[in-house]
Structure 1
Amino acid sequence: MSIQNKPHMVEAVMFFSERGGICKEMLFPEFEALLDSVVNMPEFADEQVRMAYLLINPRLMIRSVVFFFLDFDEKGAADSGWNLPLRHLADNAGRGPDMGAGPIRLACRSQCPVSWHQMHLWDPSLAPGGNDLVLLRDTVKRNALGLIVEDESSAVMVPERLHVAAEDRWQAPDPALAQAEKAAAEKDREQRAKAAQMIKQQRLRISTLSQQYEEELARLKMASAEQLRSVQVEQQRLLQALRQQETLNARLKEQLGAQAAQFQSGREDMSRQRRVLEHNTRTEMDLLRSQFERESQAKVAAAVAESREQVAIRDVELAYRVEQQAHTQQELERVTAERDELARQGGERILERLAKLGVVFVVYHPGAGHLTVPLQDVARYQNNPLAYAASKCFVSEQQYRQWLEHYQNPVCEAQLPNGERCAMPIERIDSPSRFVSAESGCCTQHKALSRLRTVG
């Protein structure tokens, strides 16, 4: 009979629904088949689904959790370009809360062991009554996946773990004293574990709330910019309508001028005909004059009446156009005033409103941690965030930049004879104020050489 020293861990994947709760569970081999497009899931077509990768021990207790996203196309097939090292993230993640088997390893957006995978992770909710970690724990306990559970009472003692006490300690200890010491040690351990778990949960919740506030601020800025663009588009539309109205008024004036010229030309033609008739005989002239006068008067009366009617119509149309133009000008002035008011209320006014509503602007910088930026320091922070963080660490901007490069990639920066960097992994300096450029960024060998050069 063989004894298994290390219990076998089971890999599983849980699917979270948009309405809250877990909608689907599967073992990791099934998830790999989904990634290989062996099967599709039409219920998640054209969606980005929140998922959790779990390592579960034989007693149905969670040991590691990775919260990640997975995209599905319109047919329900998983994203072919998705390639997230879930097991690596689970094995190298930071400590999380105790879920029954000691502190778990937790990888999420605000606690990611590999920085370039942070954008593919999400933060769980730790709110009372909606705690995603508690939901995962209860789901695993239900054992819908049919995992084989190890009975704690059937655990076999490993021979290597058996130790024989020394002969001078074979006498029976005092049971009451041993029991009291054991109870005190157990109580102290429980208190420490509870305090560490509470601190970890509060830090994770603060990080999640900070990210939510940043996203809300970005959304408000985007909405303000979109409203300003819509006002500008409306202004352009009104200006174009005004130009069209002015063009129409000019065309109507040209038509009225042409009609007046045509009427004047008709009068001149009739005058010429009258002068020709005066050269005829007196009798014919009298007859023609009387006839001409009648016809002329009739034509003139008809032409004048028609012209007056046309002029009256044009006057009404012109008055309507002038009224429309005045209305358009008033609307343009109102929109311009609204645009100016929006422009005045932009930027700092929005920040002042948020500050009055109790919104706190929190940023995170390595070495300085989470910084609360007062409203009067927002402009200085926007101009140079690194200089602002360096001032909070009581170092210069140059020293902070050098430390930040060391913090993100703690390797030896000394230059080898061939021109390349040493790149030997070194101990990371967590505080910028303790970082010395020529010494803290070098390995032991190059640090010694640097000291020899300084002494020499």
Structure 2
Amino acid sequence: MEGSQVAREMRATEFGAFLDGYVGLSDLAETDVRAVLVELSPDLRVQALVFFRIWFDEEGRADSHWNLPIEELARQGAKGPDMGGGPIRLVCRSQCPDPKFKEDLWDPDMTPGNNHFQAIRKAVEANSLKFRKVEPVQEENIPVLSEQAEDSSEREEAAAAADRSRLAQLIREQRLRIKTLQSVHRDALSDIQREHRLEVQGLRSDIADLEQKYERQRLSNEQLKKRLSERNEQYLAMQEQMAAVGEEKQREDSNAGAELLLLREQLERRQRELELRDEKIVALEEENHELRNREPPEDSIMDHLQRQTVFLVAYQPGVGHVTLPFKDIETYFSNPTAYAAERCGMNEPAYREWLDHYENPVCTHKGNDGKPCGEPILRVSQPSEFRPGVDDRCEKHQA
């Protein structure tokens, strides 16, 4: 299956050849294929469907470790929709007779316009594999003498039984549709959360790189300032030395003046370098501030979170499920425990002390040997109700 369409059809013998590795499909190289086993009756009515996954390697050959018993699963399938020959036996991810095979299956789409059951039914009716259709033997209508016609109550009972059968089939189909929609929703939510985690990790990496660049620049500036200070001290020392030189050193004044000019030029050059470094620091700080406060890219996960078309829900003991505002996302991921403590109106050490008790409700009193008592005690489920030294002690050590 590709999307909601049947992309390829093959007989069971051909599929067996793929599994045995005799042939491969280059167009399916390194692809996780969504496939369907279709079991037909002699009159080409769908009897059972198994929606399974199979991986093809870089050479287009089926995974040699794949051993899903699809024929056996087809015989064990639960009732599914009616595809023309009565309710079929259906096996999919949300309706699997053996839970250990659940991850190797997938759920069909039943939404209008993308219905996999309708696509499979059309493919069976087209019969592109040229299966021989055996028409069912029609019973001869031999006229017989009938007694008095059935009374109206029997007809009503038969009609009611037919209605109940149709209603039961409709309920089964709706339940299957609900299960598949829930599975699709879970997969979509998992993808969004994974994309969000990757995006947050990328932003954190960018911020860390900028902070490292800033730190390196700061250290370099400190070194330059230190060198400049040393040069200034040298310059002042030379001035004092020149002032103390007598008339006998006047011949060396020209050389000293040239050296002084050179030092002044070096000093000015170092000052210009320092100014340029300061400008770079300001630019980096502005860039860092812009990255921290810039608007997220349009149609990204962070953009959906900011516009509240998607909500991020976190769970912390003592707080429960919390819908995180956009402005609190970075704060929460920086320190979830501190965030939960603030939501409980507590400081972080007090919250952690309660959390240790909540996760392991035992007596923490230490004896003379330094070992904790470890006696199981009642758990205090609310952080605000926890009393250190009382609620984390057994009755023996509370006195």
TM-score relative to the length of structure 1: 0.58
Aligned AA (1:148): R
Shift of 1:107: 0.6
Query: Which residue in 1 is equivalent to 2:147?
Result: 173
Q: In structure 2, do the counterparts of structure 1 residues 377 and 325 end up closer, same or farther at CA, with 3 Å as the change threshold?
A: closer
Query: Which residue in 1 is equivalent to 2:277?
Result: 321
**What CA distance in whole angstroms lies between the structure 1 residues aligned with 2:91 and 2:119?**
17
Query: Which residue in 2 is equivalent to 1:244?
Result: 216
Shift of 1:180: 8.0
Query: Which residue in 2 is equivalent to 1:71?
Result: 55
Instruction: Give per-residue Cα distances to partners, 1:169-228, cap 9 Å, x unaligned.
Output: x96424xx3598997677545533432232122111111221222223333333333333
Aligned AA (2:19): L
CA contact (8 A) 2:107 2:183 kept: no
**What CA distance in whole angstroms lies between the structure 2 residues aligned with 1:182 and 1:59?**
33
**Does residue 176 of structure 2 align to residue 204 of structure 1?**
yes
CA contact (8 A) 1:270 1:296 kept: no
**What CA distance in whole angstroms lies between the structure 1 residues aligned with 2:237 and 2:205?**
49
Which residues of 2 match residues 148-187 of structure 1 at below 5 A? 148-153=132-137, 172-174=146-148, 177=149, 187=159
From 292, 295, 312, the equivalent of 2:268 is 312
Shift of 1:35: 0.5
Aligned residues: 310
Q: Which runs of 5+ in 1 are unaligned?
A: 1-15, 158-169, 278-291, 340-344, 361-375, 380-456
Aligned AA (1:244): R
Shift of 1:124: 0.9
Query: Which residue in 1 is equivalent to 2:163?
Result: 191
Most deviating of 212-221 and 202-211: 212-221
Query: Which residue in 1 is equivalent to 2:81?
Result: 97
CA contact (8 A) 1:59 1:149 kept: yes
CA contact (8 A) 1:73 1:79 kept: yes
CA contact (8 A) 2:79 2:87 kept: yes
**What CA distance in whole angstroms lies between the structure 2 residues aligned with 1:247 and 1:45?**
52
Shift of 1:60: 0.8
CA contact (8 A) 1:84 1:117 kept: yes
Query: Which residue in 2 is equivalent to 1:342?
Result: none
Which residues of 2 match residues 78-117 of structure 1 at below 5 A? 78-117=62-101
From 42, 52, 58, the equivalent of 2:26 is 42
From 251, 254, 257, the equivalent of 1:298 is 254
Shift of 1:110: 0.8
Aligned AA (1:121): L
**What CA distance in whole angstroms lies between the structure 2 residues aligned with 1:337 and 1:118?**
44
Q: In structure 2, do the counterparts of structure 1 residues 225 and 338 end up closer, same or farther at CA, with 3 Å as the change threshold?
A: farther
SS state at 1:144 partner: coil
Which residues of 2 match residues 269-284 of structure 1 at below 5 A? 274=246, 277=248
Task: State, as a whole percentage, how many aligned pairs show the same letter.
Answer: 29
CA contact (8 A) 2:4 2:115 kept: no
SS state at 2:38 partner: strand
SS state at 2:224 partner: helix
Instruction: Give per-residue Cα distances to partners, 1:156-175, cap 9 Å, x unaligned.
Output: 99xxxxxxxxxxxx96424x
Query: Which residue in 1 is equivalent to 2:199?
Result: 227
Aligned AA (1:318): L
Shift of 1:272: 8.5
Query: Which residue in 1 is equivalent to 2:189?
Result: 217
Relative contact order higher in (CA < 8 Å, ≥ 6 apart): 2
Instruction: Give per-residue Cα distances to partners, 1:15-44, cap 9 Å, x unaligned.
Output: x12x43112212212211110111111121
SS state at 2:111 partner: coil
**What CA distance in whole angstroms lies between the structure 2 residues aligned with 1:147 and 1:256?**
91
Select the structure of larger CA radius of gyration.
1
Shift of 1:310: 2.2
Q: In structure 2, do the counterparts of structure 1 residues 235 and 34 end up closer, same or farther at CA, with 3 Å as the change threshold?
A: same
Q: In structure 2, do the counterparts of structure 1 residues 131 and 271 end up closer, same or farther at CA, with 3 Å as the change threshold?
A: closer
Which residues of 2 match residues 294-373 of structure 1 at below 5 A? 295-332=251-288, 353=308
TM-score relative to the length of structure 2: 0.66
CA contact (8 A) 2:4 2:116 kept: no
Shift of 1:117: 0.6
Q: Which runs of 5+ in 2 are unaligned?
A: 296-300, 314-318, 323-399
RMSD between superposed Cα atoms in Å: 3.9
**What CA distance in whole angstroms lies between the structure 2 residues aligned with 1:70 and 1:197?**
31
Shift of 1:352: 12
Which residues of 2 match residues 18-37 of structure 1 at below 5 A? 19-37=3-21
Q: In structure 2, do the counterparts of structure 1 residues 129 and 213 end up closer, same or farther at CA, with 3 Å as the change threshold?
A: closer
Q: In structure 2, do the counterparts of structure 1 residues 306 and 62 end up closer, same or farther at CA, with 3 Å as the change threshold?
A: same
Q: In structure 2, do the counterparts of structure 1 residues 118 and 67 end up closer, same or farther at CA, with 3 Å as the change threshold?
A: same
**What CA distance in whole angstroms lies between the structure 1 residues aligned with 2:307 and 2:207?**
28
Q: In structure 2, do the counterparts of structure 1 residues 63 and 186 end up closer, same or farther at CA, with 3 Å as the change threshold?
A: farther
Shift of 1:82: 0.6
